[in-house]
Amino acid sequence: MGQVCLEREEEAACVIMCASVKYNIRGPALIPRMKSKHRIYYITLFSIVLLGLIATGMFQFWPHSIESSSDWSVEKRSVRDVPVARLPADSPIPERGDLSCRMHTCFDVYRCGFNPKNKIKVYIYSLKKYVDDFGVPVSNTISREYNELLTAISDSDYYTDDISRACLFVPSIDVLNQNTLRIKETAQALAQLSRWDRGTNHLLFNMLPGGPPDYNTALDVPRDRALLAGGGFSTWTYRQGYDVSIPVYSPLSAEVDLPEKRPGPRRYFLLSSQMAIHPEYREDLEALQAGHGEAVLVLDKCTNLSEGVLSVRRRCHKHQVFDYPQVLQEATFCVVLRGARLGQAVLSDVLRAGCVPVVIADSYVLPFSEVLDWKRASVVVPEEKMSEAYSILQSIPQRQIEEMQRQARWFWEAYFQSIKAIALATLQIINDRIYPYAALSYEEWNDPPTVKRGSVSNPLFLPLIPPQSQGFTAIVLTYDRVESLFRVITEVSKVPSLSKLLVVWNNQNKNPPEDSLWPKIRVPLKVVRTAENKLSNRFFPYDEIETEAVLAIDDDIIMLTSDELQFGYEVWREFPDRLVGYPGRLHLWDHEMNKWKYESEWTNEVSMVLTGAAFYHKYFNYLYTYKMPGDIKNWVDAHMNCEDIAMNFLVANVTGKAVIKVTPRKKFKCPECTAIDGLSLDQTHMVERSECINKFASVFGTMPLKVVEHRADPVLYKDDFPEKLKSFPNIGSL
Amino acid sequence: MQSWRGKSLWLALSASWLLVLLRVFPLLRLAVPARPWASAPQGWPRWLDTELLPSFSQPGELPEDAPQPPQAPRGGGCDWGACFDASKCRTGGLKVFVHPVAGPISAAHRKILASIESSHYHTASPEEACLLLFLSLEVPAGECSPVPQQWNGGRNHLVLDLHPAPCPQTFQRGRAMVAKASPTVDTFRPGFDVALPLLPEAHPLRGGAPGQLRQHSPHPGVPLLALAEERGGWRTAGTDPSACPWDGRCEQNRGPEQTHPGGTLPNATFCLIPGHRPDALHFLQALQAGCIPVLLSPRWELPFSEVIDWTKAAIVADERLPFQVLAALQEMPLTRVLALRQQTQFLWDAYFSSVEKVMHTTLEIIQDRIFGASAHASLLWNSPPGALLALPTFSTSPSDFPFYHLQRGSHPVGRFSALIWVGAPGQPPLKLIQAVAGSQNCAQILVLWSSEKPPPSRWPETAVPLTVMDGQRKVSDRFFPHRAISTDAILSLDGHSSVTTSEVDFAFLVWQSFPERMVGFLTWNHFWDEAQGGWGYTAERANEFSMVLTSAAFYHRYYHTLFTHSLPKALRTLADETPTCVDILMNFLVAAVTKLPPIKVPYGKQHFEATPPLVPGGPEPQPTARDCINQMAAGFGYMPLVSSRLRLDPVLFKDPVSVLRKKYRSLEKP
């Protein structure tokens, strides 16, 4: 405010100066006899005195104009002091509201064109107190809940104070409850908003629509194209994909402390806790109670309570008094019956109690039904079938009931428990419509956190056996063992399904051999030079990889036979979402040390395969390079070890599946290379590998590896069958 | 005079300055501390009197809505609760009667009729039916097809309307639901009407063309975009975003692109489809091609939108933001692209590839509405194998099915039940019972006695409960979902089979890794017989196999439910008449669900010679059995079997290492 104030003062000074200039012009006429020498003194004197007078006069009135014209929010931030806006009786009224509105007809997306990060920007109009010609207020200035709602929006990422960049506008005119406002005048106030423009991109929040006697199911205030987030929509008034159906907030959510109760069977099977139920419905409910005895409890208002007791928090059955909402936790199913309005605050209380709502309100559009799957948390019974409600509910298996109870509580926690939750869910829904490619998924909206944590969504979920004709790309990581490399190339090129060979030259100090020196093979051979000698380079998603299947192979793996490799590829085709490798390894829990241990003994189980030679889907290269959790990639490059274990962790974590070990191969025995590769026998090597497993398990936050006791062999492997008739006779040795 | 003047001048000057300073300084002081606050973005103010603000509803008001008499549904509007009488469906489930059609009908209509009549929903009597189906015929413009008898204001009627109706809407609908191809968003009543896909004339009745996707990830070099053309073809466009590829706005800068005539499927990662209704045909093409549909403000309701979560397979974007959409497509993470592509294929195969699937999906949606709380969960509709193959009558909990363990983070429960079928000779399989009962994982043994001879009164003592059930002398009885089966896993055995305990143990362990597949010991392989012009199969040992014999196999008990309640009756009858067919039928069924081959585990060779009935009719199947596979393929509309070239063995199987290391050493005994 300070700055604004100063600027104003300068402006005022300017006005005075201008005035004095004017005076100056008139000056000669008023004091003609003065000598020009003295005249200047007089003029200065007069103007200074005048300036003093004007300034004094100004300051007498200025304080008021400061408060009304500049931002009033700094000093006295009281709702009572908000500026007053007078609505002339004949100011325009918006159209009633267009029922055919859809996002692509009534919503101006261009305003959302430059919102970064696929997030809409929301502007909130400043608060004003609207009065009519006679000074009578149009409505309560603002309710506690609406203030909370606007605060929540203002604190969120959606908020912007720049009206020109906003995509959605939220008026500060409180229309949460239609009963507290004057319809025509509120509409006029809406039409006066600076960017109203027929209500385009304006969002109104209303929880209690309609009024006596016929209680419309949507806000009666004419609002033209404005979006309505309303509690209690019916299918007749709800504009699918345009309006948002929101809950009616229950004040008890904040007032009462109600700890979560575990799902399971409860004392009452069916409970009705609403007080104002139409007599016909009450008769139906009481008939249910009469038919099923103790299992059904129908509560009503208490008539004989002593003064001073909050009647809102008490319910009675005959002479028995129950605490509300606590009594809801005693029931498995709770009736949410239509009253005068479709939307009922009791729905929120019921969900909170982990009681499964039985919604008996024909044509009611349940809150956030655009994204929430209410089938998982509620039972909808047509009003006509109310008498059958008990038998309908009885047919639901207990396991499903518990699932629904859990889901009900989760819906409350996520979307009902506070005004903030309601506001943000509403904005998220609108955001999802505008940026559909960045929208939250069904699972993100509906799955409770416990399910989200346990579930795995396999990125390659479609059961698909890739055609054999596509073949695979072999990627050989090499440093400088050219001779061994050439032998590997020659051996691998004999595999029928090889379609391309990629050599990753990881030595920056040495150039790869000349073209003429490389072995001549039948498939394209490409050499990629890397910028740094890193183990991760083997798992980089090179553009040169055109096939889905990738064979990672070290430059010293010369012992694998052509049959063995071809069979490995065939197995990969049947399990394209898994790592398919040769020697298997195992992780074990070391009870003495209380940590994981790497095991290379020849055991009956496997949980990893070595990537010295392994087939996998090229998508995992992308995951390894760009989506590896934590600092695992750097750790691997720093330690020059365990890139294969990291890959095993990654694939198992993302697919939830075990590796496939093929053929009897147990180790990569390399007869020529002894000194350096004696490493794998080394005790320190084992310790290092165990270290890796523990490190990765802590980064992943879990142990994703799966242990299995099977390996894949050709169908007729070691069967008593003529060798020459077998597809893969030379499957190799240990 | 001069000095007085000067003095008074200075006096006035200083006085006025004093005045100014006195008034301005306090203001300045006030202004200064507020300055940093003013430069920060201004949010909604924090009121001093927040606590004093009134609540939006008075304490009594919220729970105390004044009561209002029940309302009848408003004129014209219909929704499920108001206009459908589900009480008739409670007893017999969804039974559908099709009003007889007067006059000539087109081939497309004939297919629809055939698909409904062959389904288990169909009934021939209108009294028994809870849904009456009325086929809206193609009639000259402006006219309406005549209203059938028993129209009853359209109550419990479904009007099938595959072509945009030329006659005024108001007459036809009444209280009837309308299942219509690509209905406009404005007239569609969500939760009541059903949105159908716009099918081409030549859509097959059964089976249908499989999805075009051959690999999970887009092939490098495949264009990013294909654009639906007005004349029905596709035009592929380069990846250059500057050549904004629709509206014809930037025609001159199209870059390298090709036009494909109508009928061919697009070969691109994304398929851009404008939102006008005639473009709905493109939508299905894109789906089949595995090209992710990008729908620009569609004016029609997407097919089966009530149950299918289209956000998993398509992108509905606003046509007014072309550059944002293009940029979003280019920057879309690979993971999302992969998921969308695969979902298009799954949806195509599960719900759209044949007229039969489309019709069954329509009826399944209506059945779900009747079922209410025990309907398909959304997961069942939106992940493989799809809702037509995951029956909600089996269970309402996805974890009970073999397909959703990954998504649910669950595992198949418990041990296995051995189900031994004893056929004609009626010899109690004592040795087999002992071998199976010896397994740690066996929970119960069920003997299904299907022989004419009465079962023996005494059975051997076993460690696990043994129950003898009286079978119905029908082979298909083997796959009935008997109530007595208490575990997820079933080990199906024949009285003649011979297995060892360790074989059973290992096979069960393997099955736990693949609960949706069949895991068996003996295998058959199918092949295309050029000479006969049909399918054949062989029991000879080969390098490949596509079926495992159910005389010794593990599978999930869900397949019993599926076998009994979802297979067409004709196929089950066929199996009853030709007993060897039952193995083929079961393998067809599981393969059609999983789209994967079964799994073979090692089996001691001595059994081969010992048990001739396991291999019916010797190495070459009998001619009748041969027909069987072709009849099954005709019944399914395609050949679902998939071949495998591997066998899963224990990790140290037959390795030259110490026998003491091996857990399943008895598997290797000759």
For residue B104, pLDDT beyond 50 = yes
DSSP A590-632: ETTTTEEEEE-S--S-BSEE-TTEEEEETHHHHHHHH---TTH
Report how far residue A447's alpha carbon sits from residue A459's, in angstroms, rounded to the nearest whole number: 18
Same domain as A423, residue A397: no
Please report how the helices A144-155 and A419-434 are oriented relative to each other, as an axis angle in degrees rounded to 10: 50
Same domain as A426, residue A387: no
Same domain as A285, residue A386: yes
What is the pLDDT at residue A370? 93
Q: How many CB pairs under 8 A join A and B?
A: 431
Q: Contact, B271 vs B222, CB < 8 A?
A: no
Q: Are strands B489-494 and B552-556 parallel, antiparallel or unpaired?
A: antiparallel
Same domain as A239, residue A288: no
CATH number, domain with residue A687: 3.90.550.10
Report how far residue B559's alpha carbon sits from residue B313's, in angstroms, rounded to the nearest whole number: 28
Report how far residue A705's alpha carbon sits from residue A691's, in angstroms, rounded to the nearest whole number: 15
A298 belongs to a structural domain: yes
Q: How confident is the model at residue B257 (pLDDT cuts 50, 70, 90)?
A: very low
Q: From A732, which residue of chain B is nearest by alpha-carbon distance?
A: B655
- For residues B609-629, b (16+ Cβ closer than 10 Å) or e, as one string? eebebbbbeeeebeeebbbbb
Of the candidates B645, B647, B650, B643, the one whose C-alpha atom is nearest the C-alpha of residue B667 is B650
From the number of C-beta atoms within 10 Å of its C-beta (0-12, 13-18, 19+), residue A306 rates as: exposed
- A482 or B233: whose pLDDT is higher? A482
Domain positions in chain B are: 86-196, 225-238+263-351, 416-636
Same fold: B225-238+263-351 with B416-636: no
- Does domain B225-238+263-351 match CATH 3.40.50.2000? yes
- Does domain B416-636 match CATH 2.120.10.30? no
Same domain as A221, residue A110: yes
Q: What are phi and psi of B478, to 5 degrees?
A: -60, -30
What is the pLDDT at residue A22? 38
Q: From B87, which residue of chain A is nearest by alpha-carbon distance?
A: A385
- Test B77 with A236 for CB contact under 8 angstroms: yes
Same domain as A295, residue A237: no
Q: What are phi and psi of A321, to 5 degrees?
A: -105, 135
- Render pLDDT for B586-618 as a digit per residue (tens, 0 to 9): 999 999 999 999 999 999 865 444 333 434 444
Q: How confident is the model at residue A473 (pLDDT cuts 50, 70, 90)?
A: very high
- Test A435 with B651 for CB contact under 8 angstroms: no
For residue B313, pLDDT beyond 90 = yes
Among residues 561-590 of chain A, which lie with CB inside 8 Å of chain B?
A: 567, 570-571, 574, 576, 584
- Test B657 with A446 for CB contact under 8 angstroms: no
With a CB cutoff of 8 Å and minimum separation 6, the contacts of B137 are: B101, B103, B105, B109, B145
For residue A308, pLDDT beyond 60 = no
Substitution target from A310, A715, A716 for chain B, most B beta carbons within 10 A: A715
Torsion angle (degrees, nearest 10) of CA A482, A488, A490, A494: -170
The DSSP code for B439 is S
> How many CB atoms lie under 10 A from the CB of residue A246?
25
Structural domain boundaries, residue A295 = 255-303+312-417
- For residues A545-578, b (16+ Cβ closer than 10 Å) or e, as one string? bbbbbbbbbbbbbbbbbbbbbbbbbbbbbbbbbb
> How many CB atoms lie under 10 A from the CB of residue B137?
19
Least confident range of A192-196, A383-387, B194-198, B377-381: A383-387
Same domain as A271, residue A238: no
- Render pLDDT for A594-650 as a digit per residue (tens, 0 to 9): 999 999 888 999 999 999 999 999 999 999 999 999 999 999 999 999 999 999 999
Least confident range of A157-161, A598-602, A709-713, B116-120: B116-120
pTM of the model: 0.86
CATH number, domain with residue A392: 3.40.50.2000
- For B502, the token pair is 């360790």
Among residues 114-143 of chain A, which lie with CB inside 8 Å of chain B?
A: 118, 124, 127, 140, 142-143
Same domain as A657, residue A510: yes
A179 belongs to a structural domain: yes
Same domain as A94, residue A198: yes
User: Is B44 near chain A, with CB under 8 Å?
Assistant: yes
Instruction: Give the containing element (helix H, strand E) for A321.
Output: strand A320-323
CA B535 → CA B73, B518, B618, distances in Å?
57, 22, 18
- Render pLDDT for A315-352 as a digit per residue (tens, 0 to 9): 888 888 999 889 999 999 999 998 888 899 999 999 99
- Test A278 with B346 for CB contact under 8 angstroms: no
- Render pLDDT for A204-246 as a digit per residue (tens, 0 to 9): 999 999 887 788 889 999 999 999 999 999 988 899 889 999 9
A216 belongs to a structural domain: yes
Q: From A324, which residue of chain B is nearest by alpha-carbon distance?
A: B63
Of the candidates A186, A248, A179, the one whose C-alpha atom is nearest the C-alpha of residue A221 is A186
Among residues 382-411 of chain A, which lie with CB inside 8 Å of chain B?
A: 382-385, 392, 395-397, 399-400, 403-404
Q: What are phi and psi of B480, to 5 degrees?
A: -80, 140
From the number of C-beta atoms within 10 Å of its C-beta (0-12, 13-18, 19+), residue B131 rates as: buried
> How many CB atoms lie under 10 A from the CB of residue B396?
20
A466 belongs to a structural domain: no
Q: What are phi and psi of B381, to 5 degrees?
A: -75, -35
What 3-state DSSP class applies to B559? helix
What is the pLDDT at residue A545? 95
Q: Are strands B234-237 and B258-260 parallel, antiparallel or unpaired?
A: antiparallel
Report how far residue B459's alpha carbon sits from residue A109's, in angstroms, rounded to the nearest whole number: 77
Same domain as A164, residue A295: no
- Render pLDDT for A380-403 as a digit per residue (tens, 0 to 9): 998 888 888 999 899 999 999 999
Torsion angle (degrees, nearest 10) of CA A188, A191, A192, A196: 160
Share of chain A above pLDDT 70, in %: 87
A614 belongs to a structural domain: yes
- For residues A611-640, b (16+ Cβ closer than 10 Å) or e, as one string? bbbbbbbbbbbbbbeeebeeebbebbbeee
For residue B128, pLDDT beyond 90 = no
- Render pLDDT for A120-177 as a digit per residue (tens, 0 to 9): 999 999 999 999 888 888 888 899 999 999 999 999 999 999 999 999 999 999 999 9
Find the mean pLDDT for residues A506-512.
93
Q: What is the mean pLDDT of chain A?
A: 87
For residue B110, pLDDT beyond 80 = yes
Q: Considering its fold, how many domains does chain A have in total?
A: 3
User: Is B26 near chain A, with CB under 8 Å?
Assistant: no
Same domain as A263, residue A199: no
Same domain as A87, residue A236: yes
Which residues of B are part of the catalytic machinery? Answer: 583
Q: From B591, which residue of chain A is nearest by alpha-carbon distance?
A: A463
Chain A residues with CB under 8 Å of B387 CB are none
Strands (E), B23-175: 96-98, 131-135, 157-161
Q: Give the CA angle between residues A197, A199, A200 to the nearest 5°.
A: 75
User: Is B345 near chain A, with CB under 8 Å?
Assistant: yes
Report how far residue A408's alpha carbon sits from residue A402's, in angstroms, rounded to the nearest whole number: 10
A717 belongs to a structural domain: no
For residue A680, pLDDT beyond 90 = no
